[in-house]
Amino acid sequence: MNKHSSATRLLLKDVILGTAFLYLVYFFLSFVPINLKVFHSIKLALKDFKFTDIYYSKLHKNEKQQPTGEIVLLNIGRANRAQIAHTIETVSSANPKVLGLDVYFASRNDEYADSLLKQAIFKAESITRVVHAGVLGQKGEQWVYQKSNDVFFTTKSPSYINLMQAESKPTIRYFEPFKKSEGQELESFSAAVVKAFDAEKYEELKKRHKKKEYIHYVGNQEKFNVLDYRMLDSTFDVRAAFENKIVLLGFLGDTLNMSYDIEDKFFTPLNDKYLGRSIPDMYGLVIHANIIEMMLREHYLNAPPYWLVGVLSLVFVILHVWAFVYFYVKKHIWFHLVAKILQLITAGLIVYISLYLHETWRIILDTNLFTLPVVLLVDVLYFYDGLVKFLHKKLGFTTYFMHGHH
Q: What is the pLDDT of residues 370-397, one digit of tens each?
A: 998 999 999 999 999 999 999 999 898 9
User: Is the distance from CB of 159 to CB of 153 less than 8 angstroms?
Assistant: no
* Residue-level pLDDT at 279: 85
Is the pLDDT at 82 greater than 70? The verdict is: yes
User: Is the distance from CB of 220 to CB of 281 less than 8 angstroms?
Assistant: yes
User: Is the distance from CB of 144 to CB of 181 less than 8 angstroms?
Assistant: yes
Name 39's Cβ contacts closer than 8 Å, sequence gap at least 6: none
Task: Using pLDDT thresholds of 50, 70 and 90, give the confidence band for residue 312.
Answer: very high
Query: 39 and 173, same structural domain?
Result: no
Rounded to whole angstroms, how far apart are CA atoms 159 and 245?
20
Instruction: Choose one of 241, 269, 297: the last residue of a domain.
Output: 297
* Residue-level pLDDT at 320: 96
Instruction: Choose one of 246, 278, 297: the last residue of a domain.
Output: 297
User: Is the distance from CB of 213 to CB of 194 less than 8 angstroms?
Assistant: no
Task: Using pLDDT thresholds of 50, 70 and 90, give the confidence band for residue 36.
Answer: very low
Is the pLDDT at 326 greater than 60? The verdict is: yes
Mean pLDDT computed over 64-79: 86
Does 159 fall in a domain? yes
Nearest to 84 by CA among 69, 70, 104: 104
Query: 309 and 292, same structural domain?
Result: no
Is the pLDDT at 276 greater than 80? The verdict is: no
- Taking CA atoms, 12 is separated from 61, 198, 312, 342, in Å, by 47, 58, 19, 20
Query: 380 and 255, same structural domain?
Result: no
Is the pLDDT at 65 greater than 70? The verdict is: no
Query: 311 and 278, same structural domain?
Result: no
Name 206's Cβ contacts closer than 8 Å, sequence gap at least 6: 178
Task: Using pLDDT thresholds of 50, 70 and 90, give the confidence band for residue 33.
Answer: low
pLDDT: which is higher, 44 or 110 = 110
Nearest to 295 by CA among 358, 221, 214, 360: 214
Helix (H) or strand (E) holding 28: helix 2-31
Query: 364 and 330, same structural domain?
Result: yes
Does 365 fall in a domain? yes
Average pLDDT, the chain: 86
Does 54 fall in a domain? no
Other beta carbons within 10 Å of 149: 14
Does 99 fall in a domain? yes
Instruction: Choose one of 251, 274, 297: the last residue of a domain.
Output: 297
What is the number of domains present in the chain? 2
Query: 396 and 264, same structural domain?
Result: no
pLDDT: which is higher, 95 or 138 = 95
Query: 106 and 248, same structural domain?
Result: yes
Q: What is the pLDDT of residues 168-177, one digit of tens each?
A: 568 899 999 9
* Residue-level pLDDT at 170: 80
Is the pLDDT at 49 greater than 70? The verdict is: no
* Residue-level pLDDT at 243: 97
Query: 6 and 68, same structural domain?
Result: no
Structural domain boundaries, residue 110: 60-297
Mean pLDDT computed over 100-120: 87
* Residue-level pLDDT at 140: 65
Name 288's Cβ contacts closer than 8 Å, sequence gap at least 6: 100, 102, 161, 189, 190, 193, 248, 250
pLDDT: which is higher, 46 or 300 = 300
Query: 79 and 17, same structural domain?
Result: no
* Residue-level pLDDT at 241: 96
Mean pLDDT computed over 283-290: 96
Query: 205 and 89, same structural domain?
Result: yes
* Residue-level pLDDT at 247: 98
Nearest to 330 by CA among 406, 381, 389, 388: 406
Q: What is the pLDDT of residues 212-267, one digit of tens each?
A: 999 999 999 989 999 999 999 989 999 999 999 999 999 999 988 877 788 889 99
Does 38 fall in a domain? yes
Does 52 fall in a domain? no
Query: 312 and 290, same structural domain?
Result: no
Q: What is the pLDDT of residues 249-263, one digit of tens each?
A: 999 999 888 777 888
Rounded to whole angstroms, how far apart are CA atoms 106 and 134?
9
Query: 273 and 314, same structural domain?
Result: no
Residues, the chain: 406
- Gyration radius of the chain over CA positions: 28
Is the pLDDT at 366 greater than 50? The verdict is: yes
Its pTM stands at: 0.87
- Rounded to a whole number of angstroms, the distance between the first and last alpha carbons of the chain is 25
Does 55 fall in a domain? no
Rounded to whole angstroms, how far apart are CA atoms 402 and 105?
72
Does 53 fall in a domain? no
* Residue-level pLDDT at 41: 43
